[in-house]
Structure 1
């Protein structure tokens, strides 16, 4: 008879005391000491190579202000604009953990010793893909109203740093079975939110590789969240 997997770590998700939809805590799914939002970089071509462009660069180019609730359409002036050269030429990726963000997160977790052992990960069932070299999915579960597939394995399987490791494109959740941290990249958002301990959150906020802000658990992540910069027309 095959061993029945311990699904306690999966059942832990969804225990957040904040139930309002599309909030930081709703996306992370659990109560943790600190929440951080990492902005996915835009891109600009230099010498035939696409390089990362931080949101604060785009904001300065458009005379906008940066703050924890900033939204991309509010600093560009429109959700439909495709480029604003020379500042940026490619929009931030939505629904996917970018290479630089994955690399920065992996570096932080490695530094604090939080990347050792087995972690859990979830991918949206709609991606219709599987991680190679991993048995599973272990089970199906619901998170933020989406059907997810759960896998377990070493951190490096889910937060790879090399451009050849494309499975990070399908990583929507990744969390410590000990409950120390949880990373969430919703399929519709161009930022990643993390719930973590004070130490891990501090390292993320201090990282030069990541453009991150400390956020409240009840902060919404919707197109009209930015109340400081001019509100553009809603995305079509």
Structure 2
């Protein structure tokens, strides 16, 4: 007999956030408001860098790939739109991670957010990753932004190398969401914080809205 597990947020640190997310509606696609709560002045999409599969450590941005392929770089760009057959002889394959913002981008984002968060504590939460790994409730750690990498290491044996899926400071002035199934991270924040992120040379990002599509088929016919 199949066991059905009921996932509850009541009494967890994630309850406030889940209560403010829009639930999926009928129709095609999913949008930012299903990942990040409404009510922020600005929203940003951060693209997870592609890494070469030849072990060289080389990375590639979405913008560079789009320009090479003659594809428009825009806020709803899907990785499926980037022609993977467009590769010079001898060039490696390029891959990026679902549910994990690459290290350089993740650390740069933490630096940007530290400039507006100060000494506040930050919650780092694992939701779907925890459910898939058999946890009884969301896994949440409260620490400082400088401890982000340490938190990831601490919980890696329980939820893998993904996430955190959600992180936010005590004053809830911003929320970062790296969905377990997606190749981009989304941030809700103030206009000033969004500008910090968009200006950072180590982060590939574009402004979005709560109704921007986020699923893999965002800019492709289904």
Asked if TM exceeds 0.5, the reply is yes
After TM superposition, the structure 1 = structure 2 runs for residues 207-222 of structure 1, keeping only pairs within 5 Å, are 207-222=200-215
Give how far 1:205 is off. 0.7
Q: Does 1:104 align with 2:89?
A: no
Query: Residue in 1 aligned with 2:37?
Result: 29
Question: Quick check: 1:122–1:174 contact (8 Å CA) kept in 2?
Answer: yes
Q: Does 1:191 align with 2:184?
A: yes
The 3-state SS of whatever aligns with 1:220 is coil
In structure 1, stretches of 5+ residues that fail to align are 1-6, 130-136, 141-147
The 3-state SS of whatever aligns with 2:44 is strand
Q: Over residues 130-163 of structure 1, what are the superposed CA-to-partner deviations in whole Å (9 max), with x where a residue is unaligned?
A: xxxxxxx9x93xxxxxxx32221122222x39x9
Alpha-carbon distance in 2 for matches of 1:121, 1:82 = 38
Pairing partner for 1:150 from 129, 140, 143: 140
Query: Residue in 2 aligned with 1:49?
Result: 56
Q: Give the alignment's Cα RMSD to 1 decimal.
A: 3.1
Q: Which has the larger share of strand? A: 1
Query: Residue in 2 aligned with 1:145?
Result: none
Q: Which sits farther off after the overlay, 203-212 or 169-178? A: 169-178
Give how far 1:193 is off. 0.3
Alpha-carbon distance in 2 for matches of 1:223, 1:45 = 22
In structure 2, stretches of 5+ residues that fail to align are 1-10
Task: Give the count of matched residue pairs.
Answer: 200
Question: Quick check: 1:118–1:155 contact (8 Å CA) kept in 2?
Answer: yes
Question: Quick check: 2:69–2:82 contact (8 Å CA) kept in 1?
Answer: yes
TM-score (norm 1): 0.72
Q: Over residues 138-196 of structure 1, what are the superposed CA-to-partner deviations in whole Å (9 max), with x where a residue is unaligned?
A: x93xxxxxxx32221122222x39x9899563411111121100000111100000001
Alpha-carbon distance in 1 for matches of 2:66, 2:13 = 39
After TM superposition, the structure 1 = structure 2 runs for residues 1-236 of structure 1, keeping only pairs within 5 Å, are 10-16=14-20, 18-20=22-24, 22-44=30-52, 49-76=56-83, 81=84, 84-85=87-88, 89-110=93-114, 112-123=115-126, 124-126=129-131, 128=133, 140=137, 148-158=138-148, 160=149, 167=156, 169-226=162-219, 231=220
